[in-house]
Structures are given as C-alpha cells and as structure tokens.
Amino acid sequence: CTESSGGGHAAFTSILWSPPASVVDEDGTLTNKPADFYTLLASVQCNVLLLFGSRDPWCTPSFAKRMYQTLASSSRRNKQQQQQQRYIELQNIGHCPNHEAPVAVSRTLHRWISSSSSGDGTTTDVVKLVDNEEDCDVIQELSWGGQSILKEVKEQDIGDASLLDKIMTSMVS
C-alpha cells in the first residue's frame, strides 16, 4: 500500500506523527488529553460497520474482534437496542480492502448505508450484508480478476483471544 504509490509514505507518516485524539468533555470543551482507544470506542452511539481483511498484517482480525466485542458490550450496557455493530471479514484480503476488493466493499457499504435511513445513525432493520449466511459470499473483483470472500462474524463466533492477540490489542490505546 505504501511502496508503490506516490503518496503512501506521506500518508503513513501523517498517521504515525498525528496528534492524539481530541476528546470533547461533558461541558463541550475540546481537549487533547490522552484517551484510551477502547474507551473512546465504547462511547460511540451510532451504528458501526467493521470491514477488515483477514490477511492484514497490521490490523489483524484480533483487533476487529476486540473492537466488535467492545461495541457490542457497550451497546448492551447502555441498553441501546437500535444500535447495531456488524463485523464483515474479507477472508483473502489484506490491509486495504477498498483497494484490494472494491466490488465487495462497495456492495457491502451500499447495503449498510441503504439500511440506515433514519438519519440518526440507528435503525431497527437488520440488513443482510452477506447473502449466504451459513457460509460466505464469493464476489468477482473486476480490477484484478480474483475473488473476494465475505464472511459475517457474529459475537458468539468469537472465541477467546490468544495470549499474543491479547498483548497486541492491549498496545492500542
């Protein structure tokens, strides 16, 4: 992603050296105080779609699973029945799904956005993002001639993380 594109190194550097997340206090004041990523994620109060490549060497599926579990437990704790969090894994895709699997990503995003018609970021409809619920969807990618494999990961399908995954995901804060 960064080696062949002219702006790749600049994009990577801007991510690496960007300031910490800004946090809005209860009184509306914008601050740059350090905030834990998962604490901020738990405060999200809208529908969230996670699209991750299973072959991503940097943001491995363990990150997506922890994000998904954080969102789901926060939604239950806050009793936000209309808030949805969904996790779609592109099983043969790496770090840049929008570049590596544009047909699969655009189809999934189109379905997701079309289902959120209420305007407040929530919906009571659960749209099918993957047609074949028992297995996965295989989508032909026109740009490179390969196939994208989509699988929806449900909360009950997520097992305990390995020790390495726990260490790696705890480093994001």
Count up the domains in the chain and report the number. 2
Strand order in the sheet with 147-153: 48-53, 85-90, 147-153, 137-140
Q: Could you tell me if 25 and 53 lie in one domain?
A: no
Q: Could you tell me if 88 and 40 lie in one domain?
A: yes
Do residues 134 and 126 touch, judged by C-beta distance below 8 A?
Answer: no
Q: Could you tell me if 42 and 13 lie in one domain?
A: no
* One-letter amino acid for residue 85 of the chain: Q
Q: Could you tell me if 40 and 23 lie in one domain?
A: no
Q: Could you tell me if 92 and 46 lie in one domain?
A: yes
- Say whether pLDDT at 25 is over 50: yes
Q: Which of the residue ranges 25-29, 36-40, 95-99, 139-143 has the most confident prediction, judged by mean pLDDT?
A: 95-99
Place of tokens 């998962």: 38
Q: Could you tell me if 76 and 88 lie in one domain?
A: yes
Q: Note the pTM of the prediction, 2 decimals.
A: 0.71
Q: Using DSSP bridges, classify how beta strands 48-53 and 147-153 pair: parallel, antiparallel or unpaired.
A: unpaired
| pLDDT tens digits, 132-153 | 656 667 777 766 667 778 888 8
Q: Could you tell me if 80 and 92 lie in one domain?
A: yes
| pLDDT tens digits, 63-96 | 999 999 999 888 888 776 667 888 999 988 888 8
Largest CA distance in the chain: 52
Q: Could you tell me if 55 and 110 lie in one domain?
A: yes
Q: Which domain holds residue 2?
A: 1-34
Quickly list DSSP for 87-123: EEEETT--S-HHHH-HHHHHHHHHHHHHH--SSSS--
Instruction: Say what the pLDDT of residue 172 is.
Output: 64
pLDDT-wise least confident of 34-48, 69-83, 116-130, 155-169: 116-130
Q: Could you tell me if 120 and 130 lie in one domain?
A: yes
Pull the structure tokens for residue 43.
Answer: 């405060």
